Amino acid sequence: MNRRTAIALIGCGAIEWSFPVEAQPAGKTYRIGYLFLGAPALDPEKPAPWPTLRVLGFVEGRNLAVERRCASGRRDRLPAFASELVAWKPDLILAQGGQAAEVASRTTRDIPTVVMGAGDPLGTGLVKSLARPGGNITGLSEITTALAPKRLELLKEVAPTASRVAVLWNAADAAMNLRFREIEAAAKAMQILIQPLRVFEPDDFDEAFNAIHLDRPDAMVMITDALMGLNRKRVVEFAAENRLPTIYEVRDAVDDGGLISYGPNLPNFFTRAAYYIEKILKGAKPSDLPMEQPTVLELVVNLRAAKAIGITLPSSIIALADEVIE
């Protein structure tokens, strides 16, 4: 594995975007409905598209109106929230995460929808192809299904004696189930026993943690979606308290004290959503805009976390890391 791993766009080409700010039609206010399984962002600049949209000439409160609906991890709220946004008649829906995207796709076939982090849009049937998605949906996919086996390999390097690995994931999300199956297949080839820890709602985490206490694994993988992101700190703290080597998909968990992560830098990647929004608000059809995937992945390791749980990270892992937290 190279220090920084480049992944070619799968089934699509890069989209050419124009950066100069162009004047929007006088008096026109564009409407965006934002749908998310997670909690409202504490930082009003998040998710990432809003600052970039301002650079492109779309300013909330001036020529842009945004209605936000965040389900705080309760997937049963998403259909009603999606219906509310559709009734508001936005010019575009911004759906963050695979479950929000799937609910939006069931709620409207007409309103253009940009997705941020669609999981595996081909595997779940969200789009027909990455090059020409078809229908009213396009946006960004994180390629994490393909990366799932690599994370297990990295975890095995970090914890070479591990023969039993717990996998924690949101089993209500079809894309997360695809990632789990990839890990399961890779584990079989590596002669590792997988301990599945399925959660569906925020209240399920305590049961998953109890399962670990009753039948302790040697290490753990956390598959990341909005529900996991919402409970990320709980998982990181549990792994630290129980001295459980754990690999995560995004660096936020390592910043919070987790051991290691491997995947795209999602805040930077999600900035790209602004350019999809710009194109669609200017008249482009979602079906004609290829879905984009990250081309650069980052490996982040936390030496303090390793020391706290009593392990020494291999020099090979440290040498590969894009960032080492000491």
Instruction: State the residue for tokens 């779309």.
Output: 58
Q: Which among 257, 261, 237 is positioned nearest to 248, based on CA atoms?
A: 261
Q: What is the pLDDT of residue 228?
A: 94
Q: What is the pLDDT of residue 122?
A: 87
Q: What is the pLDDT of residue 17?
A: 37
Every domain of the chain and the residues it spans: 30-143+265-288, 144-263+298-325
Q: What is the pLDDT of residue 266?
A: 85
Q: Which two tokens stand for residue 30?
A: 């564009």
Q: What is the pLDDT of residue 24?
A: 54
Looking at domain 144-263+298-325, its CATH superfamily turns out to be Response regulator (3.40.50.2300)
Q: What is the pLDDT of residue 25?
A: 54
Alpha-carbon span 266 to 58, nearest angstrom: 22
Alpha-carbon span 205 to 229, nearest angstrom: 12
Q: What is the pLDDT of residue 296?
A: 85
Angle at 302 (CA atoms; ends 117, 73), nearest 5 degrees: 35
Q: What is the pLDDT of residue 181?
A: 95
Q: Which two tokens stand for residue 85?
A: 């946004």
Angle at 294 (CA atoms; ends 276, 296), nearest 5 degrees: 140
Alpha-carbon span 249 to 285, nearest angstrom: 32
The DSSP bridge partners found for residue 69 are 35
DSSP of 111-160, one letter per residue?
Answer: S-EEEE--S-TTTTTSSS-SSS--TTEEEE---HHHHHHHHHHHHHHHST
State the pairing for strand pair 164-170/193-199.
Answer: parallel
Q: Which residues of the chain have pLDDT under 50?
A: 1-23
CATH of 30-143+265-288, one of 3.40.50.2300, 1.10.10.10, 3.40.50.970, 3.40.50.1370: 3.40.50.2300
Which residue spans within 20-142 are E strands per DSSP?
Answer: 30-36, 64-70, 92-96, 113-116, 137-140
**The two domains 30-143+265-288 and 144-263+298-325 share their CATH topology (first three levels equal):** yes
* CA 108 to chain centroid: 23
Residue type (1 letter), 301: V
Q: Is the pTM of this model over 0.85?
A: yes
Q: Which among 297, 301, 198, 202 is positioned nearest to 258, based on CA atoms?
A: 301
